Amino acid sequence: MAYKKHKNTHKGAALLFGIFSLLFFVLLFRFVQLQTTGKADGQVLAVKAEQKYEQKRTIEAKRGTILDRNGEVLAEDTPSYTLVAVLDPKMTTDPKDPKHVVDPDRTAQKLAPLLHMEVSEVKSILTKKAKQVEFGAQGRNISYELKKKIEALKLPGIGFIRDTKRFYPNGTFASYVIGYAQKEEDTGKTAGAMGIEKSLNRYLHEKDGYVFYQSDKEGFRLPDTKEKIVPPDNGDEVYLTIDQKIQTFLEDAMNQVEKQYKPKKIIAIVVNPKTGEVLAMGTRPSFDPNKRNITNYLNDAISYPYEPGSTMKVFTLAAAINEGVYNGNELYRSGSYRVGKNEIRDHNKVGWGVITFNEGVQRSSNVAFAKLVKEKLGEDRFLQYLHRFHFHEKTGIDLPGEGIGNILYRYPIEKLTTAFGQGTSITPIQQIQAATAIANDGKMMKPYIVDRIIDPDTKKVVMQNKPEVVGEPITKETSEKVLDILETVVTSEKGTGRPYQIEGYHVAGKTGTAQIPSPKGGYLTGYENYIFSFLGMAPKEDPKLLMYVAVQQPKLSYTETGAAPVSMIFNSVMKNSLQYLNIRPASEETEKTTSSKKGIELSSYHGWPVNEAVQDLKAKGLQPVVIGNGEKIAAQLPSAGDETIIHERVVLKTDGTATMPDLNGWSLRDVMKAAELLQLNPSIKGSGYVITQSIRPKTVVKANDYLIVELAEPDKWKDRINQQKEKKDEKKKQPVD
């Protein structure tokens, strides 16, 4: 039977043919399009394929190292580890070899002591609902040594992630100069947060590199494929002008003073005055950049403006000499100087009578410098010199956070108090910059602390600092005259700088005792409430080092002055640094002269019989004074271990009843020794040597009794002694009734 075609068969076949033909041409068009453009949905297919089968491995870069002038490392990146704990049980495939924490209690007890954490704190971390956990700050930056200790415990599930940390090998060392860097929470990158680490972060910052290679779908590298490498960009090396040796001398001296005198602040700067290079800079309180135990985020050496006190007189003196109006042999009356309704007084309130201006400099007379500005130099010209010494602007030192002082020059009294360092405020680094003109033939050098920056890969110099003269406020002849006068401040018997003599070297400098403004108005009062300072340079003939030291509110005994802690820093650092730099003493003759003044170290005489102690002290060339009628020594001043000079008084207190010694002719220092041993409250009038005392010799005294002592200069003291002797002789000649 013949099959009869349905009338719609041809129509259906035609429709199917048309559909398949359309699909074929669509696919063909898409194929041609992909072949010609290489793109699909706007994305390059080759790139997508490469991303799927290309692996990337990071090559870690290193943050730039900070070094001293001689290449000693001050800050660098070192390997560290982050402790992690795997808590996901699925990570363990073999129960005999667990890969997760199976016993949180035991693990916490073992880890807690090593991490300096509480056991409960560690356990709470190990019992979190998470696949993997870290241990916070205590678990980061773990050293290799601690890593080994933890690994030795063989705790299941405990592992490490390798990392790097910023390491400061010297701890508390120029901390406010170097600063610190830390990892940012959001990026994980290390960034500078303070000091050089912050200001030069753009140079120190590193950029990681990468290695790209082709892999199969399992991630394994395909054979015969080429690597594509993007090298890491390591941070630049920063070389500072800091000298590690000199900085160490400074740190050790400041530590000693901080421990002994417990001051609120210490500021010290050492520079090369010929170049402006900062060789050492330190402050207290300080911090360890590894621990970041910071209490003050400002570098006081450059950020703290305060009234400098008498170190400011150096620049007033220089201005007067430079203008040709200073006559050191000219006489004036010290003590007080009236300006309108105001009165300027010398620091001892009464002055020293009629003296020369040179002696006024040596004694640090406020009146001398007020008269220089008012009557010799002129207030307008003095202001010009304040500007010539750049006290009105920042130095521009290459450290972040530099502050600036304030020249008070509105009222007549302010113009004169500025001459001796009151009212007007400046920063320590401003003083240092100005003083380079005194030590460098009149040329004022800009201070700087970054010597050069080097690319560690190419060894190319990225940046190089050079000495920069920022002004010539005075002539070479003026600087030499100022140095000559400042030397007498240290060498003269009348000079306030005598404690700053250094064996074998000629030192020129000026002391300062700056008042501290009170929050309630006026100034703080009290024996210790000052900023004691010294601005000095050596050797005087051609200064190689310039140093400023300030100590704020140290704890002093009655026998000590503010020069004690300041000179402890200055003398030690200056002498050690000069010797380290192979700067020889002035001459053999100077060495012999000064060596004859070498100190005698005192023994302890506690418990000694009085006669034996007296004989021993006399044999050493010292002058013993016995207080009391006991048989054995109970206390002494100076103390055991202190150094004394030949013929110095050593006050010995016995175990008997305390009696008042005859203080006639004693110095203030010796009076304070007796007052401290007898626990008296001293009140001092004048300066020089004792001429009267309120408690008669051999009188029995009790603790907290008041002792009023009047002192006079040597010439007046001798006159008073002669007058008293004449009166005694007259009484002897009178007939007896």
Instruction: Yes or no: say if 732 and 712 are a contact pair by the CB < 8 Å rule.
Output: no
Beta bridge partners of 511: 534
CA 500, 505, 506, 510 torsion-angle sign? negative
Q: Are 265 and 552 in contact (CB under 8 A)?
A: yes
Contacts 24+ apart (CB under 8 A), 373-378: 373/316, 373/415, 373/416, 373/419, 374/337, 374/339, 374/416, 376/320, 376/325, 376/326, 377/316, 377/319, 377/320, 377/323, 377/325
- What residues contact residue 598 under an 8 Å CB cut-off, 6+ apart? 503
Q: Which residues of 6-16 are buried (b: 16+ CB within 10 A; e: fewer)?
A: eeeeeeeeeee
Residue tagged 């210490």 (tokens): 266
- Burial track 680-698 (b if 16+ CB lie within 10 A, e otherwise): bebebebbbbbbebebeee
301: left (phi over 0), alpha (psi -120 to 50) or beta: alpha
Written as six digits, the tokens of 444 are: 């004022």
Which residue in the list 175, 199, 303, 310 is annotated as catalytic? 310
The dihedral through the CA atoms of 347, 352, 354, 356 has a sign that is negative
Tokens representing 471 are 């002004």
Cα four-point dihedral sign 343, 348, 352, 356: negative
Active site residue 310: yes
CA pseudo-torsion sign 170, 173, 178, 181:
positive
Please confirm whether the linkage preceding 543 is cis (ω < 30° from 0): no
Phi, psi of 339, rounded to the nearest 5 degrees: -130, 100
Known catalytic residues are 310
